[in-house]
Amino acid sequence: MSILKELNLIADMCSIPVETGVFSGVPPDVYLVITPLVDLFEVHADNNPEYEVQEVRLSLFVKGNYIGIKNNLVRTLLGADFTITDRRYIGHEDDTGYHHYAIDVAKPYEFKLEMEE
């Protein structure tokens, strides 16, 4: 499984529409955009990586009060063993009416040297 697949499942569990990169179409009052940040081989031995740490930014956009939705999402992420590397309020977008809150998350995934079919 990859971080993108797992985060799509979590967004579905939290009933938050999600897309990767940019939200296409008319966005709802609450939605997430996933932006991949980095893939690292931080955990390895014998010159061969065994795990790949994948990190992404979750941009939460909410019209109205975002705090409860943000807290629920953070609890769900922590419960799914994600490491939260950063959380910050980006600001209110006056032209759209959305509050923008960013949550950076990372998680290690097993890395196989053989090609997967």
Each residue's pLDDT tens digit, 28-76: 999 999 999 998 887 667 778 888 899 999 999 999 999 999 999 999 9
- Other C-beta atoms closer than 10 Å to the C-beta of 109 total 14
The residues near 92 (Cβ < 8 Å, ≥ 6 apart) are 98, 99, 100
Instruction: Calculate ∠ Cα 23-107-109, nearest 5°.
Output: 110
Each residue's pLDDT tens digit, 57-67: 999 999 999 99
pTM over 0.85: yes
Instruction: Specify whether the CB–CB gap between 60 and 102 falls below 8 A.
Output: yes
Each residue's pLDDT tens digit, 79-90: 999 999 999 999
Q: State how far the Cα of 29 lies from the Cα of 10, in Å rounded to an integer.
A: 18
